[in-house]
Amino acid sequence: MSPLVRQFLETHGVAFSVVEHRPFISFEEAREILTLDPARMVKGLTFGLPDGLAIVALRAGDRADYKRIADGLRMRRADLKLAAPDEVLASLDMEAGGMVPLPINGARVLVDRQVLVLDEIICGSGRNTATLVIPAEAWLSVAAAEIGDFSRQA
């Protein structure tokens, strides 16, 4: 688990549990490796902005709607680019396959409305060898999230 993520959650008094496992990056790998409910898995897509990073939280089985994400970030679709993994690691202390939708170091957090139906979320921990399980209400209370429609359901 990322020390920055642990510190953020503990500082904000968020209850969470951590499940350690072998490394994975994709939702398909997560479904094979984890015994947790895939319907509660949330992925974070990270985008570079002129003034930092944005993390968009989607249910892991849903597809991103890049036009809606660009609109939510108030930018043109043509300018929307995924952040480079080294930039994400340097700024957020998060590896590919381990994204946590939290405002670490000022990152903007956008949450797809479909995620709001979950009572508990399963997401990255900053590392691709551990997964967080967090009550959704506790996560949303500290995520400083902008809610919108950012996905196309699978």
DSSP per-residue codes, 48-115 = EETTEEEEEEEETTSEE-HHHHHHHTTS-GGG--BPPHHHHHHHH---TT----S-GGG-EEEEEGGG
What is the arithmetic mean of pLDDT over 88-105? 94
Residue 72 CA neighbour count, 13 Å, CB half: 24
Domains and CATH numbers, the chain: 3-152 (3.90.960.10)
Please name which of 116, 110, 42 lies closest in space to residue 80, comparing C-alpha atoms: 110
Q: What is the pLDDT at residue 153? A: 63
Q: What is the pLDDT of residues 24-65, one digit of tens each?
A: 777 777 778 887 888 899 999 999 999 999 999 999 989 999
Residue 134 CA neighbour count, 13 Å, CB half: 26
